[in-house]
Structure 1
Amino acid sequence: MGAKGVASSAAGTAALVYVVLSGRLSSDGAEKVAGRGRGRREDVEGGSEGRWPERAPASWREAAAVASRTLGFAYGETLGKWPLGDIAFGISHYMRLQGNLQHEYAGSNCMPLEGPGVRHELISLLRYLRLCMFFSKKPYEVFLEFGGYDHSDTLIRKSKAKLMKPKFTVVRDETTRCFLLFIRGAISVKDRLTAATAAEVPFHHAVLSHEGRGSSVVAGHAHCGMVAAARWVADQAIPCLSRAVELFPDYRIKIIGHSMGAAIAAILTCILRENKKLSSSSCIAFGPAACMTWDLAESSKDFVTTVVNKNDMVPCFGKVSAASLRAEVMASSWAPDLQEHIQQKRILSLINHSVNLMRSYVPFAHNPSSMVADHVESRMAEAEMKRSEDVVMKKHSALSCCWPYVAAGRQTLEAADWDREAEEKGADDGEHTMEQLMVEALRRSPSTTASRAHPGRQLYPPGRIMHMVALPASEDVALYETPRAAYGKIRLAGSMVKDHYMPRYVETMELLIDRLAEDEDAPLRDTDDRCQSCCCKC
């Protein structure tokens, strides 16, 4: 609870600061908050007022305003759209109905990747992944020692993450004759706020022809927080990279990241390649977040390699895919499952605990129909007390916390309808009546209404996608190059969160390398932590 407490305090502080400053920011200041750099801007999807920034905040006032707005946006896109019943029961029920869909990443439209060349590429990728993991999780001195670097190999280092300003470093790697730029993923609260700023903003980049004589512009949209972070990293890194390339013209540039860091790395690579000196830039993205629209993602296939592990859901997760999942969850009939298990008191206590926890973390979230909810609650309590005072005393504490969420968004709901419903069910046992009302109320909550007319633009993982797939009925894994269309849908699985962690990526890649070595019937090359024997040839 320590980390959650810190997150709660940070959220409350940001909200308080924003409220204090909102009256002092002039219209010019507000426009400055909305965005400082070049480029087009657009209104936030869904009708939110104002425009999202395309650059990192330049002051603590801007950071506080963006953080507060991000928290409201994140709440509106999650708990604001997913009522408690959908989260607690609908997703679990739909996951059981759906089953494991990992086989869809190994379908007829997916190309299997095998052979010595693929194994050698994986060995190289595994070394980069381990370096990225050490940079993200270990002290910087340990990272340098693991990579065989000393301080003279460090070109630039930003050791503290801020809102839209991720932690990153650039090191010179003599073994691979590359300048390696590592970007850390979402670990701190400020990193997670960057990832939560998920509105789409316009983004375009120029793609040079293979002969280098001309270029074409690819336009689209990308993740707001990650675009701003990539532009900030570019501003910091371009001067030192330009000097380094002048001193070592035969060195290439590789940008490496995991999760949010991988998505920022892909966007940053698009930016760097527009600079003629840095046009050798390429990217290795491990489990990147869905961060750009289709055309942008396709245009980066020549210089971005994305690696996805098994059921990792992050490359598929976005506003549009989440809205589609929500529609599918509501189409599945989970209410009978709820009614079957609701008499277990542990479920009601879990609901009570969960809602109180959410309220404590989001104290500023305004419920537009809270007055209606309060009236509904009081009328229901009166009706039930007349029938079974003992039952109401046992159940009311657990159910009362749910009614504001059940009633949220139903501004036209009349309290008399609820009272009449209670009267119609009065012949039943009091405890059973409350349970039935809860089930039916959850089913008719705002989750059953249509979503926004324009939920947003579908975002995809960037570049060429290599997916490590667990083979059915075995512990083996296989590698496939999968089409981008496969990542427009969220596939639920019990391991969809665990498979996103870097240690899981390492384990799967090691298994895959071992399997490919057995297929070749040849001894596997040395794959120790340094992977020294292969780096000069990969």
Structure 2
Amino acid sequence: MSMISKVSGYAPGWMEDYGTVASALHSNYQSVRGFSVGDLTVGMAYLWDDERNQRKASQPGSAHQPYPGDCGAVHKDEADDFRRLCIAVDASYLTDRNELAAALKTIGHEIHDAVQKSTFQEPAFFISESQARNEVFFVIRGTASMKDALTDGDCAAEDLNSALPEFAGVKAHRGMAKSAHALLDKHASKILKCVEMFELKKKKPRFVVLGHSLGAGTAAIASILLKERLSKTPVECVAFATPPCLDVKGCGASAQHLRSIVCHDDVVVRASRQNVDDLFSRIQDINWKEDFSKDVNKLHTVQAAKAASVTLASMQKSASAAAASFAEQAKRRMASSAKAGGGNKNVEAAKAAAGAAASVAAAGAAKAAAGASALAGKFSSMMSKKSSDAKDGASEPALSEPADLVDLFVPGKIYHFRRSPRGAGTYASVIRHDAPTLKRIELSSSNVEDHTLVEYKEALDTFSCQMNNVGVKMAPEVEGALEIYDGYAPDYGVGSWKEAPGCFIMPHELCLKRPDKEGELMPLKTDLGGGGYVAEKYEFKSKGPWGIKIEVKSDDKKAKTLRLYIPGGEAEHAKWLAAIQRCCDGVLGTPAPPDVTEKEVAKPKKSFVFGGHSFF
């Protein structure tokens, strides 16, 4: 069975990501309530295409270069400290106490107390300590899903209610402030007791509040409240993927003790009310009529693909059913729009397009059906918003919002880690809360992935590797074109070989990467390390002797297998096989970042589908 999932030309992966973002923004922000979730999703998709084309035409791959507004360098000691703290933050998502203890042991910590189940506005957390390192960590877990991370409906600003003079009158994200107050009302005594144990021994511990996503915002606010209670011990806070949660005054006042880490285009970090207003304005500027016309033409070309049906009946059946469903829904909604709009020509064209989609589905051409279903879905959501606009060019008035809204920003001293085509973390800089890169939601293929701790770890590891190996060229261990088998049985012709140009493996990583579309920086990647995978030379009857088969050694007949062919011949095959086997064994090459752990632990198994995006 192939490790490469089937993805249509309209990419359910990105549609799922953008649908999630659209749903969350729609729930939170009054300014987008004029759009349905479907309209917002489609609007972002069209805007994404347009802005990707602009990136292609400007300076491809230059996003890792210095930005306007950069105001400081990131030092290697800081990066390595962030890497170690990130291990503690990652451990907060573990729900088994024994697993949490094992993870903390790798950084020399033991559990002092832990609540591993979240309740409403009381996120899970743990308190850990290290006598040897003289440290106490208070780590607050973020939410487990991207939708929850973006959707905290209680996002209005309210008084922080801090007794510290520098935070007098500061406004904070209400939901996160309530979470911080609730946690400390119940558990501050445990934190104070742990710190006091060090103080009684005449020690001055390093006390750090940590978190990721909503946990980061809650940690940022909790650290301010804890500064009021800990008079002898300084309070630090390191927050990963911090949402906008403090006003301008709070951002400045917190810079003395709080550091916020941002990975490239992270959408949660930029999900402020003012940035959502900007996104809404950009979507409204899209030329819907022109885009609609282009998609109608695309649908006509899709019909020509009827002969390109796949061999598996189950895939054909599911794709056809999906297309028929989308098309039928589109016809019903568009018929209703036509009745209200008096026979608008665009509506009539849409009805015809949806009918064509249904015809294609009935014909059973799976590839055509997949494209038709996506288009019918687009037409349906587009016309619910635009059928009346197409007649007179008028736009629907935006809903009014209260005049006393407070803008919230990412707090503290902000460290921005950026991408290059090789991956995250190629460049980093300290930036201000009002830096241009934080003042808009970037629509890119990585804006959802950049919120995950996996990408934060990659960024920190890459940057640390560069800073600790100055003068050593950060080049791929191996790179070049591969052929990847997309199917089930290459020796029996069930599937096909596909070219994959530009593949590479970096020596400090355990994954296989290849470029995404032009205008996108995040490469597609397949994680090979820590999953029990074994790579071996394999001769494919249909290709030749220079093949590589990567699979999980188990009795499970459904275990997935990745099949590669190296067209460069014997020497290239040897290089690729050695690099892939190194990754499967979980061994870093040279150069590599310094080890910040105290004991190696087994990593959980990982899928070849990375973060919702397959390698191919």
Where on the TM-score scale, by shorter chain, does this alignment land: which range? Answer: 0.5 to 0.7
Per the alignment, residue 252 of structure 1 pairs with 206
1:290-325 CA deviation, whole Å, 9 max, x = no partner?
112111122100111111112212111023311221
Looking at secondary structure, tell me which structure has more helix per residue: 1
Preserved CA contact (<8 Å) 1:322 1:490: yes
* Mapped pair 1:324 → 2:273: no
Partner Cα separation in structure 1 for residue 455 and residue 347 of structure 2:
54
Per the alignment, residue 222 of structure 1 pairs with 172
**What secondary structure does 2:168 align onto?**
strand
From 137, 140, 143, give the equivalent of 1:183. 140
From 432, 450, 458, give the equivalent of 2:407. 458
Percent identical among aligned pairs is 17
Preserved CA contact (<8 Å) 2:26 2:37: no
From 471, 483, 491, give the equivalent of 2:432. 483
Per the alignment, residue 51 of structure 2 pairs with 98
* Mapped pair 1:529 → 2:586: no
Distance of aligned partners of 1:234 and 1:141 in 2 relative to their CA distance in 1, 3 Å threshold: same
Partner Cα separation in structure 2 for residue 161 and residue 394 of structure 1:
38
Calculate the TM-score normalised by the size of structure 2: 0.56
Partner Cα separation in structure 1 for residue 139 and residue 326 of structure 2:
55
Distance of aligned partners of 1:97 and 1:158 in 2 relative to their CA distance in 1, 3 Å threshold: same
Distance of aligned partners of 1:75 and 1:199 in 2 relative to their CA distance in 1, 3 Å threshold: closer
What is the deviation of 1:92?
1.8
1:447-477 CA deviation, whole Å, 9 max, x = no partner?
7423424373322111000001124788761
What is the deviation of 1:86?
3.6
The equivalences for 1:75-474 within 5 A come to 77=30, 80-84=33-37, 86-99=39-52, 100=55, 103=63, 106-114=66-74, 118-137=75-94, 139-148=96-105, 153-187=110-144, 195-207=152-164, 215-249=165-199, 250-277=204-231, 280-342=234-296, 397-401=329-333, 418=340, 421-422=342-343, 431=352, 442-443=385-386, 444=388, 448-454=396-402, 456-471=405-420
Preserved CA contact (<8 Å) 1:218 1:299: no
Distance of aligned partners of 1:288 and 1:278 in 2 relative to their CA distance in 1, 3 Å threshold: farther
**What secondary structure does 1:186 align onto?**
coil
Partner Cα separation in structure 1 for residue 198 and residue 412 of structure 2:
27
Partner Cα separation in structure 2 for residue 247 and residue 433 of structure 1:
70
From 443, 467, 470, give the equivalent of 1:516. 467
Distance of aligned partners of 1:515 and 1:204 in 2 relative to their CA distance in 1, 3 Å threshold: same
What is the deviation of 1:278?
6.4
Per the alignment, residue 8 of structure 1 pairs with none
Partner Cα separation in structure 2 for residue 264 and residue 429 of structure 1:
47
Distance of aligned partners of 1:255 and 1:343 in 2 relative to their CA distance in 1, 3 Å threshold: same
Distance of aligned partners of 1:145 and 1:452 in 2 relative to their CA distance in 1, 3 Å threshold: same
Aligned length: 399
Calculate the TM-score normalised by the size of structure 1: 0.64
**What secondary structure does 1:127 align onto?**
helix
Partner Cα separation in structure 2 for residue 291 and residue 197 of structure 1:
12
**What secondary structure does 2:266 align onto?**
coil
Preserved CA contact (<8 Å) 2:104 2:110: no
What's the RMSD between the two structures over aligned residues? 4.3
Partner Cα separation in structure 2 for residue 78 and residue 143 of structure 1:
41
Partner Cα separation in structure 2 for residue 167 and residue 260 of structure 1:
11
**What secondary structure does 1:518 align onto?**
coil
Looking at secondary structure, tell me which structure has more strand per residue: 2
1:54-99 CA deviation, whole Å, 9 max, x = no partner?
xxxxxxxxxxxxxxxx999927749734335642432122223323
Partner Cα separation in structure 2 for residue 524 and residue 439 of structure 1:
49
1:417-442 CA deviation, whole Å, 9 max, x = no partner?
x36x2288999897379999986662
Question: Partner amino acid for 1:266?
Answer: A
Preserved CA contact (<8 Å) 2:106 2:597: no
1:343-391 CA deviation, whole Å, 9 max, x = no partner?
666999xxxxxxxxxxxxxxxxxxxxxxxxxxxxxxxxxxxxxxxxxxx
Partner Cα separation in structure 2 for residue 202 and residue 480 of structure 1:
31
What is the deviation of 1:529?
3.2
Partner Cα separation in structure 1 for residue 30 and residue 261 of structure 2:
27
Distance of aligned partners of 1:438 and 1:141 in 2 relative to their CA distance in 1, 3 Å threshold: closer
**What secondary structure does 1:495 align onto?**
coil
Partner Cα separation in structure 2 for residue 425 and residue 506 of structure 1:
48
Distance of aligned partners of 1:340 and 1:135 in 2 relative to their CA distance in 1, 3 Å threshold: same
Distance of aligned partners of 1:332 and 1:238 in 2 relative to their CA distance in 1, 3 Å threshold: same
What is the deviation of 1:145?
1.8
Higher relative contact order (CA 8 A, sep 6+): 1
Which structure 2 residue ranges, 5 or more long, are not aligned? 1-22, 303-324, 356-375, 473-589, 601-616
What is the deviation of 1:147?
2.0
Partner Cα separation in structure 2 for residue 73 and residue 453 of structure 1:
14
| Stretch deviating more after TM superposition (158-167 or 181-190) | 181-190
1:8-38 CA deviation, whole Å, 9 max, x = no partner?
xxxxxxxxxxxxxxxxxxxxxxxxxxxxxxx
